[in-house]
Amino acid sequence: MKKVLIANRGEIAVRIIRACHELKLKTVAIFAKEDELSVHRFKADEAYLVGAGKRPIEAYLDMDDIIRIAKKTSADAIHPGYGFLAENEQFAQKCQDAGITFIGPKVDHLKIFGDKIKAKDAAVAAGLHTIPGSDKPVGSVAEVQAFAHQHGYPIMIKAALGGGGRGMRIINSDQEVQESFNRARSEAKQSFGDDELYVEKYLKNPKHIEVQILADQHGNVIHLFERDCSVQRRHQKVIEFAPSIVLSSQRRQEICQAAVRLMKSVAYQNAGTVEFLVTPDDFYFIEVNPRVQVEHTVTEMITEIDIVQAQILIADGKDLHHDLEIPEQKEIAYHGYAIQCRVTTEDPENNFMPDTGKIETYRSPGGFGVRLDGGNAYAGAVITPYFDSLLVKACVMSRTFTGAVKKMNRVLDEFIIRGVKTNIPFMKKVINHPKFIAGQAHTTFIDSTPELFE
């Protein structure tokens, strides 16, 4: 592998370009017209307009144009990042057909894990616990009600192809099923191109714990411990940290081993994350994300293993232990605590509406134990309404969790961003809340804590 095309934008494109350059690989960026001045294109060795004439997001989804650029520039691999085409099996197949390495898992893995029902089936087959659910698509109001009568309300209706915290509804009664079912179906069709729905029991106050996996082409599968991503707003992650501060070491072992077992059972390759909901008595598989995740950073900080470099080397056929020099599982250690805050250009005083405009002033924090992964985070950058509102990921690392919280407070205070609104004031309230500091924040913490919004 000599040259990598990065089929993404923003912070993750920059992150991947950096990993490539450290590995002495050349890089090709693509950019939509609206991203003409975006940082990622200037960081790469070459950059090309993609999807000319298309709308901004569609430009980055223009598979044939991306393959065309890869061929034209003799790129021998494509890294899809997260979002956009990262989990698109058709795109992975097109790369393969064009003789280009797709830096991610095999097409078959994307097929299994792109569909939450198939993913659950794989988890059950590997002996993992799943949340009691319909286990197959539900086709009518009566079927959903029958499930609820058996298991009790509340239940959750989910789109089989849903993602990004969307396509899920909590349902509390027969009447709500009646009111919501058809709407959920048409929304699933509209958002994910498929109206398949399934139901499961709604767990009250679980924690979201996920395990980072690396798997090479030689059958080596390792985990890099867990992340706690329970701090969510409307099922979307806001703050993540590693390791969890409430898991016992026995429970940690069980969860990490379950994740490895599942990934081994499907002969998984490349980086992936196995997600669980954890209650005081048990832990339940929810899904696999077959790609790099936004919050991979905190795992890198506690294990000192570069996950994006690992993805690239694995895709190039390298062995985790011999080539990447990652020790055997029992020798892999982690140190300290890392926390990530997703700084977005959203206005917490206006229901988190994305804010746009020119960043007039930008001063970023720094110092010991601080890591920033930004895209267009600089004075003069123009934040457009077309893309995700993630501006910069602020990560800190400290020997203790309370030390990390203190450092994050300092980091958030040190940012000076004028011209666009950000969610920084909101995140400060979250990280200073006693529940967060005690590691007791559950997935419903933000949505059920009104004082955070005062």
Catalytic residues: 291
**Rounded least distance, CB 291 to ligand ADP, Å:** 12
Binding piece for ligand ADP, criterion CB under 6 A, among 20-28, 64-72, 158-166, 215-223: 158-166
- 116 labelled binding-site residue: yes
Name the β-bridge partners of 351.
none
Q: What is the sign of the dihedral through the CA atoms of 71, 75, 77 and 79?
A: negative
Nearer to ligand ADP, 47 or 271 (CB): 271
Give the residue, chosen from 218, 235, 406, 428, that forms a contact with ligand ADP under the rule CB under 6 A.
235
What does the block give as tokens for 108? 């078959």
Q: Tokens 């698109």: give the residue.
A: 88
Ramachandran category for residue 308: left, alpha or beta (phi over 0 → left; psi -120 to 50 → alpha): alpha
Q: Is there binding between residue 164 and ligand ADP (CB under 6 A)?
A: yes
Q: How far is the C-alpha of 271 from the C-alpha of 453, rounded, in Å? A: 36
Do the Cβ atoms of 241 and 227 come closer than 8 Å? yes
Query: Is 330 annotated to bind ligand?
Result: no
- Exactly one of 275, 295, 300, 373 binds ligand ADP (CB under 6 A); that residue is 275
Touching ligand ADP, residues 418-447 (CB under 6 A): 443
Number of residues that bind ligand ADP (CB under 6 A): 20
The stretch among 78-86, 198-206, 266-274, 415-423 that binds ligand ADP (CB under 6 A) is 198-206
The residue (of 48 and 283) whose beta carbon lies closer to ligand ADP is 283
Q: Which residues pair with 211 in a beta bridge?
A: 226, 274
Which residues is 5 bridged to in the sheet? Answer: 28, 78
Identify which of residues 283 and 362 has a Cβ nearer to ligand ADP in the complex: 283
318 is in an annotated binding site: no
Confirm if 191 and 207 have CB atoms less than 8 A apart.
no
Contact call for residue 151 and ligand ADP (CB under 6 A)? no
State the residue number with the nearest CB to ligand ADP: 443
Cα(123)–Cα(163) distance, rounded to whole angstroms?
A: 18
Nearer to ligand ADP, 203 or 256 (CB): 203
Peptide bond into 243 cis (omega under 30): yes
* Amino acid in position 68: R
Of residues 195, 196, 200, 228, which one binds ligand ADP by CB under 6 A?
200
Q: Is 209 in the site for ligand ADP (CB under 6 A)?
A: no
Name the residue nearer to ligand ADP (CB basis): 155 or 320.
155
* The binder of ligand ADP chosen from 30, 66, 131, 177 (CB under 6 A): 131
Q: Does 132 bind ligand ADP (CB under 6 A)?
A: no
Select 176 or 275, whichever has its Cβ closest to ligand ADP. 275
Contact between residue 144 and residue 157 where contact means Cβ atoms under 8 Å apart? yes
Distance CA 263, CA 109 (A): 10
Can residue 163 be called a binding residue for ligand ADP (CB under 6 A)?
yes
227 binds ligand ADP (CB under 6 A): no
Nearer to ligand ADP, 128 or 277 (CB): 277
Binding status of residue 232 toward ligand ADP by CB under 6 A:
yes
Which residue among 83, 162, 272, 375 contacts ligand ADP (CB under 6 A)? 162
What is the distance between the alpha carbons of residues 314 and 171, in angstroms, rounded to a whole number?
A: 42
C-alpha span between 117 and 187 (Å, rounded):
18
* Binding piece for ligand ADP, criterion CB under 6 A, among 10-18, 95-103, 162-170, 180-188: 162-170
Q: Can you tell me which of 94, 120, 208, 433 binds ligand ADP, judged by CB under 6 A?
A: 208
Which residues of the shown chain bind ligand ADP in the complex (CB under 6 A)? 131, 156, 162-166, 168, 200, 202-203, 206, 208, 232, 235, 275, 277, 286-287, 443
Q: Which residues are annotated as a binding site?
A: 116, 200, 235
Q: Which residues are annotated as a binding site for ATP?
A: 116, 200, 235
